[in-house]
Amino acid sequence: MVFDFLKGEFIDVISWLDETRDTMVWRFERRGQAIKYGAKLTVREGQAAVFVHEGQLADVFGPGLYMLETNNMPIMTTLQHWDHGFNSPFKSEVYFVNTTRFNDQKWGTKNPIMCRDPEFGPVRIRAFGTYSMRVSDPALFLREIVGTDGEYTADEISMQIRNIIVQEFSQTIARSGIPVLDMAANTADLGKIVTTAINPTIAGYGLTLPEFYIENISLPEEVEKVLDKRTSIGIAGDLNKYMQFNAAEGMANPASGAGAMMGAGMAAGLGAAMAQQVGPWGAAPTAQQPAAVAPPPPPPPPVAAVWHIAENGATKGPFDEATLATLVAAGQLSRASMVWTAGQDGWKMAADTPLRQLFDAVPPPPPPPGQ
């Protein structure tokens, strides 16, 4: 009865069912019980079992069902000094290691990375992406990373992995010489280079990175704004058109305060420019319909001069030149008649003024009869 009781206290079934998605290592809890010689060990697919005996790493078991005996526990047998016929219980810590992939692990640059671009000169870039990791060497991972931790999760190692990735990514970007504008087309190649660079370090932890992705490489916000403006100018093809485009946007989305005043001023300038380009039919001029240029207005007609006539100490008039021509024909105005008009310096004989042409147009008196 006592033997049966003690036998029942020994552990005879060892297994682990993982109900989490982030546990990498879990220690089988014995609660002070010894493991029975000949106990059954179940290691499922995606798992490995590592035995630690008195602080020393012993046997590692992959997926399968095992009977814990001397024939499949060579290291434990050596450490216990077992003979083939000895089947006493033993004490050992058993760690189950999850060897499946831990997907969708995030990485990213905390601070911008300085690099020299062949087109823009020194620039700062940021990058982020995802990766997957997997335990490739359970014993090494347990010795180098986990230690005696009874439960180890992916979050506890992910920060260290991210630091390694960012360091290698920075060096890879600096050495690549790829222009910033071409990096988006080379993320796959950059990812392979980074993976190759970090694999030796990761392998020293007993890990491997089956997948590594660079999702985005970006410039600082202020640099992106300048590039956007440069792209807009290139699309517009003409600086004047680009300014008109900005002014039109200002009219469509007016801001408040000083921005609204600036938008209104730009809109007014755009309106003036458009007004100069609109033809007489209210449409922009084309090659088939040139813009009509309005002729200048004719000068105002000159003001006709009027004249005054001095006769017997009195003045008559004013008379226009047509009336004066009638007086000359009637003999009532002669070359010696004194005349004056506005702007003339005093009275003058008609023959000494522009009125002399009226006398040249009058025929001389007819000759006497008989001649």
Q: What is the pLDDT of residues 160-208, one digit of tens each?
A: 999 999 999 988 888 877 888 888 888 888 899 899 999 999 999 999 9
In a domain, 117, yes or no: yes
Instruction: Tell me, yes or no, whether 184 and 242 share the same domain.
Output: no
Alpha helix stretches (DSSP H) within the chain: 2-9, 74-80, 138-141, 155-176, 187-203, 221-236, 239-252, 258-277, 321-329, 356-360
- Between strands 64-67 and 11-14, the pairing is unpaired
C-alpha to C-alpha distances, 239 to 244, 251, 304, nearest whole angstrom = 9, 19, 55
The pLDDT value recorded for residue 37 is 81
Per-residue confidence band for 364, with pLDDT thresholds at 50, 70 and 90: low
The pLDDT value recorded for residue 317 is 77
- pLDDT higher than threshold 90 for residue 360: no
Instruction: Tell me, yes or no, whether 123 and 193 share the same domain.
Output: yes
Instruction: Tell me, yes or no, whether 120 and 228 share the same domain.
Output: no
Instruction: Tell me, yes or no, whether 129 and 145 share the same domain.
Output: yes
d(CA 152, CA 59): 20
Average pLDDT, the chain: 78
Instruction: Tell me, yes or no, whether 213 and 227 share the same domain.
Output: no
State whether residue 323 is helix, strand or coil.
helix
Which of 64-73, 214-223, 235-244, 281-290 has the least mean pLDDT? 281-290
Instruction: Tell me, yes or no, whether 123 and 163 share the same domain.
Output: yes
Instruction: Tell me, yes or no, whether 117 and 135 share the same domain.
Output: yes
Instruction: Tell me, yes or no, whether 47 and 124 share the same domain.
Output: no
Which of 40-44, 118-122, 357-361 has the least mean pLDDT? 357-361
C-alpha to C-alpha distances, 297 to 275, 282, 294, 300, 327, nearest whole angstrom = 21, 22, 9, 9, 38
CATH of the domain at 337: 3.30.1490
pTM: 0.56
Instruction: Tell me, yes or no, whether 106 and 92 share the same domain.
Output: no
d(CA 175, CA 258): 46
Per-residue confidence band for 274, with pLDDT thresholds at 50, 70 and 90: very low
Q: Select, from the ranges 201-210, 222-231, 357-366, the one with the highest average predicted confidence (pLDDT).
A: 201-210
- Domain boundary residue among 69, 98, 127? 98
In a domain, 124, yes or no: yes
- pLDDT higher than threshold 50 for residue 135: yes
Instruction: Tell me, yes or no, whether 178 and 122 share the same domain.
Output: yes
**285 CB-side CA count, 13 A:** 14
Instruction: Tell me, yes or no, whether 215 and 226 share the same domain.
Output: no
The pLDDT value recorded for residue 270 is 45
In a domain, 301, yes or no: no
In a domain, 370, yes or no: no
Q: Is 40 exposed, middle or buried (0-12, 13-18, 19+ CB in 10 A)?
A: middle
- pLDDT higher than threshold 90 for residue 106: yes
In a domain, 37, yes or no: yes
Domain containing 356: what range? 307-360
In a domain, 158, yes or no: yes
pLDDT digits (tens, 9 = 90+) for 290-334: 556 777 777 766 667 888 888 877 888 788 888 888 888 888 888
Which of 104-113, 125-134, 184-193, 245-254 has the least mean pLDDT? 245-254
Q: What are phi and psi of 208, to 5 degrees?
A: -145, 155
- Which residue reads 């005696």 in tokens? 148
In a domain, 292, yes or no: no
The pLDDT value recorded for residue 11 is 67
d(CA 12, CA 89): 10
Instruction: Tell me, yes or no, whether 133 and 240 share the same domain.
Output: no
- Domain boundary residue among 98, 116, 143? 98
Provide the domain count of the chain.
4
